[in-house]
């Protein structure tokens, strides 16, 4: 039986803070399509630009799309989709520990090695 390394608790912690993940070109187009709006309008209403970096606006300390969970789930940026199972954790235990602290969905009953073994399998599966 496969060990479950992560189960989202829908706490919303990862959608809070003073910044959000950045959106690449595909993210912007997918978000506009999901919202059924012109991209320019999406940018004006929901996004903020800092130089070349495009992120979602922050309202009351959380992503503008957060309201009892993500309200744009099918159209959210790929970095949101990937979180918290980031490949960088495989080679960086400190990063793993920091993410584990901030995300209650990570199975804390596992050793780092067990977690990495499970994560490597998931990443491999996603690549296939």
Q: What does the DSSP 8-state code read for residue 5?
A: -
Residues 51-80 that bind ligand SF4 (CB under 6 A): 56, 63, 65-66, 70, 72, 76, 80
Strand ranges, E, within the chain? 47-50, 53-56, 58-59, 62-63
Q: Shortest gap between Cβ of 67 and ligand SF4 (angstroms)?
A: 8
Q: Identify any residues that bridge with 70 across adjacent strands, giving them in sequence order.
A: 66
Q: Shortest gap between Cβ of 52 and ligand SF4 (angstroms)?
A: 20
Tell me the two tokens of residue 44.
């004006």
**Footprint of ligand SF4 on this chain (CB under 6 A)?**
8-15, 20, 56, 63, 65-66, 70, 72, 76, 80, 83-84, 103-105
């Amino acid at each position: 039986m496969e060990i479950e390394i992560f189960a989202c608790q829908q706490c919303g912690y990862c959608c809070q803070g003073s910044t959000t993940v950045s959106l690449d070109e595909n993210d912007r187009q997918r978000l506009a399509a999901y919202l059924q709006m012109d991209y320019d309008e999406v940018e004006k209403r929901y996004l903020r630009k800092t130089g070349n970096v495009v992120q979602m606006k922050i309202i009351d300390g959380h992503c503008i799309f957060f309201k009892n969970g993500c309200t744009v789930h099918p159209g959210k940026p790929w970095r949101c989709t990937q979180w918290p199972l980031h490949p960088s954790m495989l080679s960086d235990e400190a990063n793993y520990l920091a993410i584990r602290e901030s995300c209650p969905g990570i199975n804390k009953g596992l050793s780092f090695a067990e977690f990495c073994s499970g994560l490597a399998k998931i990443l491999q599966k996603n690549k296939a």
